[in-house]
Structure 1
């Protein structure tokens, strides 16, 4: 079976149509190769861009000798499709929208970035554009992480922008996340003679009571208030309909403000659930807002939009860990991400395009 020819995207049609085209090129996590092939075909003729491909992560950068460099990144994968491709353009509550998988998370942002990468031949700062794969799945597959390990030189920069959906506002930093499994133990017995056993599912009741009664904190970090969350996200137990279970596991997710480390978050969970068996199954550091960096301040001033906290974890944390201040900025309401009726307002795509173009062209950045 022959490999489909990678045709370039039509940049002359504008970012809204480009969003539609990029979304219609399905790229569920692990199947991004052809979309990245098309991005290469789209940008390889532009002399001001140096293209570097690592797996299915594409970097395009200018090398103009500017005093400062900005990294602008976005992931090209989506969660699975559920009868929501091809993209539709419709009015929703009187507002023009693109509807379908990837419009919010985050191909609207990618389309803006690709269009500007081609257009901005003489920006005020050097720009490193990054489009990476496997963001929606396990961290060990994340293309940005793998690129940072293989080519740390590409991550030299003074400021980073991640095109995650923010309703065309600026969201600084992000919460961290820890997931744990909490287990209760019992003794198996026939359910007709339950009194000779110990029911591990019943023993999990105090864990659920703690979770139900827990009041998540709201913590101010550098002027932004991050809302934490502590929730059961799964529970398993039992082996058969006539057996008293000897084990139950409650899967818990803690979203913690970036004023604390993952180790401190785990210590907090240990204080809460330490009387039971705990296994840490996932951890990711948060990121402080990064809004005190000079380029970040100019970005806020130039766009004139609110600065808000990012409640979910995003790859700004990877930039933060490398010492690069980073913010989230892109079209789309994050509450619509992954939804079957995922949709982005056309005006937000256009706002982000105008905002980034104007800021990257401002003479006082360099």
Structure 2
């Protein structure tokens, strides 16, 4: 690739810095909380995603794209812009999600999460890192290409999709791909999951949600001593005076914690650090029916887990190992043998991966290095996996190689005082533009 087209584009992006910051602030100020996220008011929130998609459509048109908005359900529109190439080059997708998670803890924030705050180095607000900064960087990269007269040989397809934050790929990325907006490769603007900024991320783990419902037998709280004595003596253990569902659930959890510890060695992947794959208990709900009161021994408990597993491992294998672990615990427990827990799997997001030696991964890494010359990000970019679910899965599932690369730190995603470094957003835009020139070819 000749340096001149890239240098013109990089200079143009530098000149757009203030406009990029203002546009990100505009996007952050749109309350595009995913309306199906737990404990949210759907009717109050629906439409926010569409408003961000309309903002992106404006930017895509400025880049010379043929633009289309469409949704699978009312008020939740995806946006696609296609910048037609001159022909003979590979096509490339820039993808990102327009929805964000709630900020119901807004009293803990230093600034209103939906009124963007800008200081000398960062833009603050919900969605600034995850991942409106990436969407804005992608759109401005496309604009810089067009405004410098840099015509690509292959098509550049810009996608802003709904639903990712609640694993609704059927409304977002999969719906867009199903509509025919496919390409030879894709770059997803997820924020960096590693320590160094602007990491190239060619893989994502599988994510499995598990719910375990445990029943007990309620009684007066003072019966706990008799209940424990029966358990110790194994007397009437299957028909006790009372049985704590919380205690029984925690016995199951102890076994799953031991399995999680075993996974450090037994569940590995060369792209992921040891210990990356986990069985995390993140929601516990237990009490006596009809009274959430400490005067009662609890007769119901639900445990909800987020399970991260290697992308190359099939979900039936993971489920089977967990079920067998729970069954072993149940067989050794007099109460649970008679009252076995119910296991449900309400959600699953399979993993995905692109080989780190794939031409796309090499292209994006080289683009990131070229774009970072003379900046605080200078040097080769890391190639490390994204630590959570992402829409990379749905590209690789249909045979489209994909990598993640985006501004912001993953530790800021879903966090109080979420913010994105402005330099990272500008750096990401430069990396996207150079990657497009190299992958698609310049006419």
TM-score relative to the length of structure 1: 0.86
Q: CA–CA distance in 1 between the matches of 2:201 and 2:22?
A: 26
Q: CA–CA distance in 2 between the matches of 1:262 and 1:132?
A: 26
Q: CA–CA distance in 2 between the matches of 1:319 and 1:363?
A: 17
Instruction: Report 1:315-326 matches (<5 A).
Output: 315-326=391-402
8 A Cα contact 2:272 2:385, kept in partner: yes
Match of 1:154 in 2: 181
Match of 1:206 in 2: 251
* Residue deviations 1:87-140 (CA, integer Å, cap 9, x gap): 22225xxxx111222110011101111112233231253211100122222526
Instruction: Report 1:336-351 matches (<5 A).
Output: 336-351=412-427
Q: CA–CA distance in 1 between the matches of 2:198 and 2:94?
A: 15
Match of 2:279 in 1: 230
Task: From the superposition, tell whether residues 135 and 347 of structure 1 become closer, same or farther in structure 2 (CA, over 3 Å).
Answer: same
Match of 2:366 in 1: 301
Q: Which residue of 119, 129, 147 corresponds with 1:90?
A: 119
Match of 1:173 in 2: 203
Match of 1:117 in 2: 142
* Count, aligned residues: 348
- Residue 53 (1) aligns with residue 98 (2): no
User: Structure 2: which 5+ runs fail to align?
Assistant: 1-15, 35-45, 72-76, 107-111, 228-240, 331-340, 369-379
* Residue deviations 1:151-183 (CA, integer Å, cap 9, x gap): 1x212x221111010131111210111111123
Q: CA–CA distance in 2 between the matches of 1:208 and 1:135?
A: 29
Task: From the superposition, tell whether residues 206 and 172 of structure 1 become closer, same or farther in structure 2 (CA, over 3 Å).
Answer: same
Task: From the superposition, tell whether residues 140 and 295 of structure 1 become closer, same or farther in structure 2 (CA, over 3 Å).
Answer: closer
Match of 1:217 in 2: 264
SS in 1 for 2:181: helix
Q: CA–CA distance in 2 between the matches of 1:354 and 1:16?
A: 15
Task: From the superposition, tell whether residues 364 and 35 of structure 1 become closer, same or farther in structure 2 (CA, over 3 Å).
Answer: closer
TM-superposed CA distance for 1:38, in Å, is 2.8
Moved more, 64-73 or 341-350: 64-73
8 A Cα contact 1:145 1:318, kept in partner: yes
TM-superposed CA distance for 1:271, in Å, is 2.4
Match of 1:107 in 2: 132
Moved more, 168-177 or 21-30: 21-30
8 A Cα contact 1:222 1:289, kept in partner: no
Match of 2:162 in 1: 133
Q: CA–CA distance in 2 between the matches of 1:316 and 1:80?
A: 23
Q: Which residue of 403, 410, 422 corresponds with 1:334?
A: 410
Match of 1:63 in 2: 84
Q: CA–CA distance in 2 between the matches of 1:350 and 1:339?
A: 22
TM-superposed CA distance for 1:268, in Å, is 2.1
- Residue 265 (1) aligns with residue 318 (2): yes
Q: CA–CA distance in 2 between the matches of 1:236 and 1:223?
A: 35
Q: CA–CA distance in 2 between the matches of 1:24 and 1:97?
A: 15
8 A Cα contact 2:351 2:393, kept in partner: yes
Q: CA–CA distance in 2 between the matches of 1:364 and 1:148?
A: 19
SS in 2 for 1:357: helix
SS in 1 for 2:165: coil
Instruction: Report 1:245-264 matches (<5 A).
Output: 245-264=298-317
Task: From the superposition, tell whether residues 363 and 235 of structure 1 become closer, same or farther in structure 2 (CA, over 3 Å).
Answer: closer
SS in 1 for 2:323: helix
Match of 1:7 in 2: none
SS in 1 for 2:346: strand
* Residue deviations 1:41-91 (CA, integer Å, cap 9, x gap): 343365x42212212101111232233111110111212243223222225
Match of 1:4 in 2: none
RMSD: 2.5
Match of 1:6 in 2: none
Q: Which residue of 22, 29, 53 corresponds with 1:24?
A: 29
8 A Cα contact 2:212 2:304, kept in partner: yes
Q: CA–CA distance in 1 between the matches of 2:352 and 2:221?
A: 49
Divergent runs of 4+, >6 A: none
Task: From the superposition, tell whether residues 102 and 294 of structure 1 become closer, same or farther in structure 2 (CA, over 3 Å).
Answer: same
More helix as a share of residues: 2
8 A Cα contact 1:158 1:324, kept in partner: yes
